[in-house]
């Protein structure tokens, strides 16, 4: 049978645990700082506003539409090609005292004055209250997901491993958000969906490693916890590389060829897979060691010891 990786002995991953832990803490701290200072560039899904889609008979560069609207004194949030190179979506942030219908007509008339063949395909308006509801719903969905994961992993393994799994998921989420904040990439509902997908993807990889750690803990009676973890990660490394590699290939293809409408989604997925693979190997496992997880934590509870009276009663029942 073909094997991608043949390992004769375990790779000492946990020897780099302290260094990887410091690196992860620094990156998370930088991400939190960016989110506090710069924040996120929320899309119209969260802030509300107007989306105006214009159609042209031939390819239309968004930069040209932006130049036309700037000349007309119309401040836009973004101008992107939508669906095809001949369709352009103009996004405008909401402003108090501005009639949205009149604003959309102004945009269309400004473009039509230069390109008479332009057509108005659709106009959508998202109110600020809807955007606030989406922000609240997004935060609740993330919080509930993390809480449910903590309960599940703590029940299946042990609370130290459950907390370690949550720390790795927080690491993945915060680093992804930090990149979006650093480069002012628009954060919309598709990116939120990608974050929830990342949480599930990273958790699955972490559970696979934790399962193998538990199996090894019941067999390797005289080994230390770092050695047990090293062997578990080495045994699941082939599966991790194949799974992450094939998924990453798809997300990178979407990132390059998917166009601007799904750029945020594909970027978040690509970053999340990279960060999730790293955290499954180092952050989750090493965090469990730091919290004092031991081999005994993963062993099944011993059978109850019966006193002489209970033994006599059981023998009587057998007779």
CATH number at residue 216: 1.20.1640.10
Q: Is residue 57 part of a domain?
A: yes
More confident residue, 86 or 313: 86
Q: Is residue 217 part of a domain?
A: yes
Question: Which pLDDT belongs to residue 29?
Answer: 96
pLDDT band at 66 (very low <50, low <70, confident <90, very high): confident
284 and 190 belong to one structural domain: yes
More confident residue, 176 or 310: 176
Terminal CA-CA length for the chain: 55
Strands 186-187 and 41-42: parallel
pLDDT band at 1 (very low <50, low <70, confident <90, very high): very low
Tens-place pLDDT, residues 232-251 = 998 888 888 888 889 999 99
Question: Which pLDDT belongs to residue 71?
Answer: 85
Question: Which pLDDT belongs to residue 4?
Answer: 47
Q: Is residue 311 part of a domain?
A: no
Q: For the chain, what is the domain count?
A: 2
Tens-place pLDDT, residues 265-274 = 999 999 999 9
27 and 103 belong to one structural domain: no
Reduced to 3 states (helix: H, G, I; strand: E, B; else coil), residue 319 is coil
Instruction: Answer yes or no: are the C-beta atoms of 164 and 284 closer than 8 Å.
Output: yes
Q: Which of 95, 126, 157 is the last residue of a domain?
A: 126
108 and 204 belong to one structural domain: no
Distance of CA 222 to the CA centre of its chain: 38
Tens-place pLDDT, residues 99-135 = 777 888 888 888 888 888 888 888 888 766 666 676 7
The segment with the largest mean pLDDT, out of 27-31, 126-130, 154-158, 258-262, is: 27-31
- According to DSSP, residue 262 is labeled G
The predicted model gives 179-193 an average pLDDT of: 87
211 and 267 belong to one structural domain: yes
141 and 66 belong to one structural domain: no
Instruction: Answer yes or no: are the C-beta atoms of 232 and 216 closer than 8 Å.
Output: yes
What is the reported pTM?
A: 0.76
The predicted model gives 171-176 an average pLDDT of: 92
Question: Which pLDDT belongs to residue 274?
Answer: 92
Question: Which pLDDT belongs to residue 152?
Answer: 78
Tens-place pLDDT, residues 197-217 = 888 888 888 888 888 888 888
pLDDT of 94 strictly over 80? no
Residue of 207, 185, 211, 202 lying closest to 275 (CA atoms): 202
79 and 59 belong to one structural domain: yes
The predicted model gives 281-293 an average pLDDT of: 87
Reduced to 3 states (helix: H, G, I; strand: E, B; else coil), residue 194 is helix
83 and 192 belong to one structural domain: no
The predicted model gives 36-46 an average pLDDT of: 82
* Domain housing 81: 49-126
Q: Is residue 5 part of a domain?
A: no
């Amino acid at each position: 049978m073909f094997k991608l990786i043949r390992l004769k002995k375990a790779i000492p991953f946990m020897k780099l645990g302290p260094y990887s832990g410091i690196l992860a803490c620094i990156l998370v701290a930088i991400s939190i700082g960016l989110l506090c200072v710069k924040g996120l560039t929320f899309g119209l899904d969260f802030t509300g506003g107007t989306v105006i889609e214009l159609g042209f008979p031939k390819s239309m560069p968004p930069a040209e539409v932006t130049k036309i609207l700037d000349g007309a004194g119309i401040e836009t949030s973004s101008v992107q090609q939508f669906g095809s190179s001949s369709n352009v979506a103009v996004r405008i942030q909401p402003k108090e005292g501005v009639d949205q219908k009149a604003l959309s007509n102004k945009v269309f008339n400004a473009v039509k004055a230069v390109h008479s063949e332009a057509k108005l395909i659709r106009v959508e308006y998202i109110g600020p209250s809807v955007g606030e509801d989406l922000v609240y719903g997004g935060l609740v969905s993330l919080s509930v997901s993390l809480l449910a994961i903590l309960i599940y992993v703590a029940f299946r393994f042990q609370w130290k491993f459950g907390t370690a799994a949550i720390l790795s998921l927080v690491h993945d989420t915060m680093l992804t958000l930090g990149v979006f904040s650093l480069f002012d990439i628009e954060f919309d509902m598709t990116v939120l969906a990608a974050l929830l997908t990342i949480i599930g993807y990273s958790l699955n990889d972490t559970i696979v490693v934790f399962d193998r750690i538990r199996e090894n803990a019941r067999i390797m009676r005289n080994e230390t916890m770092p050695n047990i973890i090293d062997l578990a990660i080495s045994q699941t490394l082939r599966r991790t590389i194949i799974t992450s590699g094939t998924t990453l290939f798809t997300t990178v293809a979407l990132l390059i060829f998917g166009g601007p409408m799904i750029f945020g989604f594909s970027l978040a997925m690509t970053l999340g897979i990279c960060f999730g693979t790293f955290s499954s190997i180092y952050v989750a496992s090493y965090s469990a060691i730091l919290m004092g997880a031991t081999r005994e934590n993963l062993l099944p509870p011993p059978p109850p010891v019966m006193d002489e009276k209970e033994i006599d009663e059981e023998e009587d029942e057998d007779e």
